[in-house]
Structure 1
């Protein structure tokens, strides 16, 4: 079960790296505008916030990836703590998104479901 949790956490981290790319580098690209439902003018006005948010997503991915490495190399307590911190923050951010704007339910599911499943799998593995 621990391996399944780490795989789910790794995929969640990769998704957050992709979100980082969209928010930090591709924010005003036509495809990104369509993904986030914005005009070019709105994207320009939000660029500093998006850059900040992008790096937030990258840092969550890094914490999760470092936790996976620690766990895989035998430091299970430290690794699991980092994996749970990273994926817990991802899942909590998705919850905040859907609570603050229910029309963003699909986006919240895309960014929050895998981290939630990773949390469940890792927790079960640690309890067994």
Structure 2
């Protein structure tokens, strides 16, 4: 079950790296604006906010990736803690998005289900 958790956590980390790219690097592009449903004016007005938010997503991905690597090299306690912290924070942030903006349910599910499954699989694997 730990292997399943690590694969899911890795996928979640990659999704959050992609979100970082969109929010911090391509926020005002037509493609990214279409994903987030923003106009050119809205994207320009929120560029600094999105840039900062993108780095939060990158840092969560890094924490999760470091946890995966640590588990892979045998530092199970530290690695598991980091996977719980990173993927758990991703799932929690998605829950906040879902509750605060129900109209963004699709985005919340896209960014939150996989890390939640990773956390649950890691919990089951850790208890076994």
With normalisation by structure 2, the TM-score equals 0.99
> How many residue pairs get matched?
128
Pair 1:62-2:62 in alignment: yes
For 2:113 and 2:98, locate their aligned partners in 1 and report how far apart those are by CA, in whole Å: 12
Report 1:18-57 matches (<5 A).
Answer: 18-57=18-57
Q: Say if 2:108 is the partner of 1:108.
A: yes
Q: Tell me the TM-score normalized by structure 1.
A: 0.99
Q: C-alpha root-mean-square deviation of aligned residues, in Å? A: 0.4
Structure 2 partner of 1:80: 80
Give me the whole-angstrom Cα distance separating, in 1, the residues matched to 2:51 and 2:26: 10
Q: CA deviation at 1:66?
A: 0.2
| Structure 1 residue runs without a partner (length 5+) | none
Secondary structure of 1:103's aligned partner: helix
Structure 2 portions without partners, runs of 5+: none
Misfit runs of 4+, over 6 Å? none
Counterpart in 1 of 2:14? 14
Task: Give the drift of 1:103.
Answer: 0.4
Q: Please give the alpha-carbon distance, in whole angstroms, between the structure 1 residues aligned to 2:113 and 2:48.
A: 27
- Paired position in structure 1 for 2:127: 127
